[in-house]
Amino acid sequence: MENKVNFYKEDFAIVAPRTFKELQIGEIFRAPSRTLTDAHASAFQAVSADNHPIHYDVEYAQRYGHTAPVVHGLQVLAFTAPGATLFPHYIGHVFIAFTSLSCDFLKEVHSGDTLYPSIEIIELIDNGNTGTVVTRATVYNQNNELVLQGEHRYLLKN
């Protein structure tokens, strides 16, 4: 007996897709929290080729006034990647480009810190055929301290 099933790949979306016009200022997209380990720092050091001893040498870090080796700033920034949140799943069908990012590193991050990253829509710019989404990227630590803030910009079909 033949069993006919109606199968649609589109039904397997994680979230319902949205258009530029359906996005709203104030929407927040959170990434899962993560406690950093020495293994994370070592992996990032290998990938980035940033071999400065401030990132791995306890005595060097302490000699220059740090309590412990400092996690690479770009590694902390990487936790704000939109793909760590559900945001790209909402806009994937209208996404054109991730056009820019900026950030300020506000506090040191060390192995053992737990980070809480998110991006929040702060501006929607209608450009006619396209739209620009501006988000505020933030990363807090386990002490509720803001350790990084910045902006991301995305270009979408309108």
- How do residues 96-112 score in pLDDT, each as one tens digit? 999 999 999 999 999 99
- 88 occurs within a structural domain: yes
Q: What's the rounded Cα separation, in Å, for the pair 58 and 37?
A: 14
- CATH number, domain containing residue 148: 3.10.129.10
**Residue 156 predicted with pLDDT over 70:** yes
Q: How confident is the model at residue 10 (pLDDT cuts 50, 70, 90)?
A: confident
Inside any domain, residue 3:
no
Segments forming the whole domain that contains residue 53? 20-157
Q: Quick one: average pLDDT of 115-135?
A: 98
Retrieve residue 157's tokens. Answer: 């079909």
The verdict on residue 6 lying in a domain is no
State mean pLDDT over 128-139.
Answer: 98
pLDDT at position 1 is 59
How far, rounded to the nearest angstrom, does the alpha carbon of residue 46 sit from its chain's CA centroid?
A: 20
For the cut 90, the answer to whether the pLDDT of residue 148 exceeds it is: yes
Burial class (CB in 10 A: 0-12, 13-18, 19+), 154: buried
The pLDDT score that the predictor gives to residue 17 is 93
Q: What is the chain's mean pLDDT, rounded? A: 95
Residue 12, domain member (yes or no): no
Domain count, the chain: 1
Instruction: Give residue-wise pLDDT tens across range 72-89.
Output: 999 999 999 999 999 999
| 70: in domain | yes
| Cα–Cα distance for residue pair 94/79, rounded to 1 Å | 23
Judge whether 144 lies within some domain: yes
> Given this model, what pLDDT does residue 98 score?
97
Q: How far is CA 133 from the centre of its chain?
A: 15
Domain annotation covers residue 138: yes
Q: Is residue 135 part of a domain?
A: yes
- Tell me the pLDDT tens digit for each residue of 20-58: 999 999 999 999 999 999 999 999 999 999 999 999 999
Q: How confident is the model at residue 7 (pLDDT cuts 50, 70, 90)?
A: confident
Residue 67 has what DSSP assignment?
S
Please give the distance of CA 122 from its chain centroid, rounded to a whole number. Answer: 15
